[in-house]
Amino acid sequence: MKSTIILFLALLTVSTSSFYGQDAAPKVKKEKEEFFFYWGYNRSAFARSDIRLHGKGYDFTMHNVWAKDKPEPFDAKIYFNPVKLSIPQFNTRLGWKMNDKLWISFGYDHMKYVLQNGQHTTISGTIDSIASQKYAGTYNNDSIKLANDFVQYEHTDGFNFITFDADYVSPLWSSEDKRFKLEHWLGLSAGVILPRTDVEIFSYEGPNVFNLAGYGLAIKSQLRFFMWKRLFVQVQGKAGIVNMPKIQTTTLQDEWAQQNIKFVEAFWAIGYQFRFGRP
């Protein structure tokens, strides 16, 4: 009987120790969420494209026209003025770290697109005399020189590509103390085009308002160099295509432009990678 009592007490002691030992196990420390933010400036180039203009008394397409970007000349009073930072062609983005290899982000590229007047091109479609006495007629790939009293067309405030991005990160180099490192980021962008299109058709000026004109896709590659762990500078190249089925050109809903644009873009930026939240 005595040995049975001793065995029972021993088993009770072991079970109790095991029970409390589970509760006393150290908790896993949850890391803070990690983010980045950057701001930079770009240069862009555009492939030739067709532009269709539709409105009261006209429906025609300008074929294979070319355009340029419109970089702001460097002026410290603009580029270093917080109120005027958005005047040049800029890029800004906020990102969140999903794991060591994958980041997702949201932001936009403020590019500028200016149709170059003075170029010779061809047009197809019709222009009625109620729209323009000078250019009235029916066209079938007929040659024309683009003039200011014909069409002035630009996305200068701007050609805004608003996207969600996913990036895969590959480490390239790191200093021994981890304070400096170089990474390669390869990513995809998908989003919408919200241009502010400045248009004059037959010398009639449009409303020049922001309008949700379409959507786009792009692929990008960048090098990001970290200094003192958190601060970074980066250079990036991007190539994409956007489809804009309805660009607002006048105050009337049934007057619009259509255009697909292929583009390449290069930009540099400075940013900071930070942690947020309580561990």
Condensed to tens digits (0 to 9), the pLDDT of residues 70-79 reads 998 988 888 8
- Which residues have a Cβ under 8 Å from the Cβ of 99 and sit 6 or more positions away? none
Is residue 22 scored above 50 in pLDDT?
A: no
| Stated pTM of the model | 0.84
pLDDT tens-digit map of 170-213: 999 999 888 899 999 999 999 999 999 999 999 998 888 899 99
pLDDT in tens, 32-56: 799 999 999 999 999 999 999 999 9
Q: What is the CATH code of the structural domain delimited by 32-276? A: 2.40.160.20
* Domain ranges across the chain: 32-276
Q: What residues pair up with 155 in beta bridges, in sequence order?
A: 113, 197
